[in-house]
Each structure stands twice: as C-alpha cells, then as structure tokens.
C-alpha cells in the first residue's frame, strides 16, 4: 500500500510535512495529559490557543468546555469540522514513553486513572493541523470554516451540551458537518459508507431488591444474587431469540455487583448494561424486552419491590447522508487513490457526532481513519487474528503516529475542500 503524501501540488496540503513535527508534539502533549469528559479545560485551552494563532475568531466555554473557531474567508458555504477531546477512566498499558500517568476524579467523585484510549488526542491534533493549513492557504478557497472541539463524547454529554448552550443561535449554519475517528485498520487507509455508520446506544442501570440474610439461612432471604444471575442469563436470549438474523443488536452486561462478604446474602444487586442497535424498531423491541425480563425475574423471585431501571448514557444512530457521503468519497478517491479508500459497513461503536447535523437539519458525514501499523495489520489479517489487535477503549490502544497523523489531517482538508468554493 502506498501511504506517501500526494500533497506536493496541493496549495493547502503542500505545507503539511513542515507542520508534522509540531502536530506530533501536540499529540504527545495531549496524550500525556488526558482529561475526563466535561473536564477538558487544558485540552480546550491548547485548541483555543492554536486557533487564535492561526487567525480564527474563537469562542470558549461552549457547553462548558467546548471550543468553536470561525475563519471567514469570503463568499461561500460554511463547513463544520468536529473533533472530540475527552479521555477515558482507563489505566494506560501501552508502554509508550509519553504514556499517561494521570489520575483524576470522575463525575461521581471517585479517583480513577485516565488515558486517551480512544484516540481523541489524535482527533485534536488532526483538527488543529487542518485548521492551520487552511488558514495558511486562504487564497485557495472561499467560504467559512467552523472548527468545533467538542467535550464529553464518551458520556454522550458534549454535543448536546454545546447545542443546549445555543450553538445554533451563536454560530452560522453549516452546509455540512464533517467528522472522523481513528480506529483499528491499516494506517493510511480511510473507510466509510453512506447510511448508518455508528450504532445507537443505550446504557441502563438496574437495581434488583431482595431480602438479606445469613449465608447459612438462605430460606430466610430473597436472594438478589440469584435473581441477578437469572436476569443476566435470560437477557442473553434477547439477541439470540428475539432479534431476526437479518437484524443487528448487541446486549452487553458490563457491571454485576452484589454483596460485600461471602457468608452474607445482601439486600440488593446492581446490573449495568449496554445496548447497540442500527434500527429504531429493533431498538424499541430490545429495550421493551429488557424491561419485561427484568420485571418478570424480580416477580418470579418474590422480590419485595419492583426493580429500578434507570437510563444512563444514550447515543443516537449516526446516519451518513447519501449525497454528501458520495461527495466525500469521490474527493478521497481523487486525492488518495481508490486503493486507500475502503467501503465499510456500520460500526457497532457509538457517537454523539450526529447530534449536530440533526439539530441543524443539515447533512453530516463521518468516516474512519486506520491507526494500526500497516505491516502489523496485514500479518494479523493473513493469520485470521484481527481480533487480537488492541481496539479502541483497550488499555493497549495506541495508533501508530505515522502515517495516521498526516492521513487524518489530509482527510479533513480534502473533505472540507469538497464544499469550500475554489478561489
């Protein structure tokens, strides 16, 4: 695969190579100083400083820590480019010399390790690079560029917080909203498709109530541990027995907690689960099935009170506009060559990126940029061991710096210029 830069003749991207050392330093800085969702004060400050230095009108504190930069460059459409900034409560295990050692308090006040194990640090560097290059080559395009550095993607808070902070009233309406994500895949390759591109996601917390007793006298209890175990097992039947083979859904139990001592039957148990779907009808049926099963298992156990089912994070289905997606794909093929532009189906991961296009009622396009060393990816694919590669949210997830860094800058610039009027 050829991952050399075809940018020498491009008036915007011709200066990319000279910018790469600075972008690499920025990436390592952000990676070493990760911040949890809605706490991205330092990262937002770095983004704002870079935008100001490039000549953008900058507004900070949008939706708490969000940053919006505007570069008005004559008549033409407004194009929105988005990057998310937040990290995860995961202890990094990459072994990199610039690995995070940060610990911070989460929204529940618990001290947790923090790491950029989803690649949002790369997203920040990409958008900083793209906005810098477009500002340096204003003679090559006309229109308005709107750069949005978004907080809180990992908790599904950030996009909605910016919209609720009157984003739509304070800034010009874009013709299209563009975004991207680093993922497992051969670095230097770009993947996407029209239609659903990331799944809807619903996270739920379930409290099951029993009656505690001594471990030696289970007959005096209503055991919430057994109730929870039965509930977890029954929930597994939703996808296998209630969702058609031609449809898709994922139901994952991520938390199962009960009790503190082996000879004490507790009063209650806690389950937290996550649902992924690609169709509104399937989503409705799966959520209804969860509600039905949880309540039925509690009743079958003789629970003293009904279970509490509390919604947690919720992400919308992210759908790429067909016409806009075709336009982006054509621009990518023209710039990178068809061999580096891959058609892919929807990813089971979820994103709140789609909130912007929906709120503004404009098309949006979201795509993926490979971040795995090409040789490593090729060998794993040949051996049928792609699942062994560290994925997003793994403690070992670390995109290879090059060509991931330059490819993501190129994709943002090329996609934006598919709309920005030529000079």
Q: Which two tokens stand for residue 361?
A: 């009622």
Neighbours of 245 (CB within 10 A): 6
- List for the chain the helix, strand, coil content (%; round to 5): 40, 30, 35
| H helix intervals, 165-256 | 167-170, 224-235, 237-242
Q: Which two tokens stand for residue 38?
A: 């809605």
| Pick from 74, 8, 131, 174: nearest CA to 421 | 74
Three-state SS for 115?
strand
Write out the E strands in 63-131. 66-73, 78-84, 103-105, 111-113
Which residue bears the tokens 């003293």?
304
Half-sphere exposure (CA, 13 Å, Cβ side) for 211?
A: 11
- Detail the residues annotated as belonging to a binding site: 118, 120, 154, 181
Peptide bond into 271 cis (omega under 30): no
Find the helix or strand (DSSP H, E) in which 366 lies.
strand 364-372
Residue 214: exposure state from Cβ atoms within 10 A (0-12, 13-18, ≥19): exposed
C-alpha span between 386 and 186 (Å, rounded): 11
Which residue bears the tokens 């994070």?
313
Neighbours of 99 (CB within 10 A): 16
Residue 315 pairs in a beta bridge with 201
Half-sphere exposure (CA, 13 Å, Cβ side) for 108?
A: 5
C-alpha span between 99 and 86 (Å, rounded): 16
Neighbours of 254 (CB within 10 A): 9
For every residue of 247-262, DSSP letters joined together read S-EEEEEEEEEE-SST
Contact yes or no for 112/35 (Cβ under 8 A): no
Contact yes or no for 41/414 (Cβ under 8 A): no
C-alpha span between 6 and 302 (Å, rounded): 68
Residue 272 pairs in a beta bridge with 205, 255
- Detail the residues annotated as belonging to a binding site for Mn(2+): 118, 120, 154, 181
């Amino acid at each position: 695969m050829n991952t050399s830069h075809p940018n020498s003749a491009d008036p915007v991207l011709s200066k990319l190579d000279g910018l790469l050392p600075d972008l690499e330093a920025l990436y390592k800085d952000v990676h070493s100083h990760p911040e949890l969702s809605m706490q991205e004060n330092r990262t937002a400050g770095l983004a704002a400083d870079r935008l100001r230095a490039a000549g953008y009108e900058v507004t900070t504190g949008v939706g708490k820590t969000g940053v919006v930069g505007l570069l008005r460059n004559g008549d033409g459409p407004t194009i929105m480019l988005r990057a998310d900034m937040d990290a995860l409560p995961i202890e990094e295990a990459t072994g990199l010399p610039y690995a995070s050692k940060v610990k911070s308090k989460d929204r529940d006040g618990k001290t947790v390790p923090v790491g950029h194990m989803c690649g949002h640090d790369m997203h920040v560097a990409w958008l900083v690079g793209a906005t810098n290059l477009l500002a340096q080559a204003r003679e090559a395009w006309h229109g308005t560029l709107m750069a949005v550095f978004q907080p809180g993607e990992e908790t599904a808070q950030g996009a909605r917080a910016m919209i609720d902070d009157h984003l739509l009233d304070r800034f010009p309406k874009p013709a299209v909203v563009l975004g991207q994500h680093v993922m497992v895949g051969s670095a230097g390759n770009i993947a996407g498709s029209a239609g659903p591109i990331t799944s809807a996601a619903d996270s739920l917390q379930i409290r099951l109530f029993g009656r505690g007793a001594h471990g030696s006298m289970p007959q005096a209890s209503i055991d919430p541990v057994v109730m929870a175990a039965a509930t977890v097992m029954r929930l597994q039947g939703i996808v296998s027995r209630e969702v058609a083979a031609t449809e898709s859904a994922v139901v994952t139990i991520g938390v199962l907690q009960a009790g503190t001592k082996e000879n004490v039957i507790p009063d209650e148990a806690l389950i937290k689960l996550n649902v992924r779907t690609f169709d509104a009808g399937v989503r409705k049926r799966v959520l209804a099935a969860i509600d039905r099963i949880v309540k039925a298992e509690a009743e079958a156990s003789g629970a003293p009170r009904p279970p509490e089912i509390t919604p947690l994070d919720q992400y919308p289905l992210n759908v790429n506009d067909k016409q806009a997606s075709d336009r982006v794909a054509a621009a990518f093929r023209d710039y990178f060559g068809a061999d580096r532009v891959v058609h892919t189906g929807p990813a089971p991961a979820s994103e709140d990126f789609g909130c912007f296009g929906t709120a503004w009622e404009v098309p949006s396009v979201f795509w993926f940029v490979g971040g795995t060393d090409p040789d490593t990816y090729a060998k794993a694919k040949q051996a049928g061991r792609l699942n062994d590669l560290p994925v997003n949210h793994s403690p070992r997830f670390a995109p290879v710096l090059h060509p991931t860094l330059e490819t993501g800058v190129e994709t943002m610039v090329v996609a934006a210029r598919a709309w920005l009027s030529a000079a």
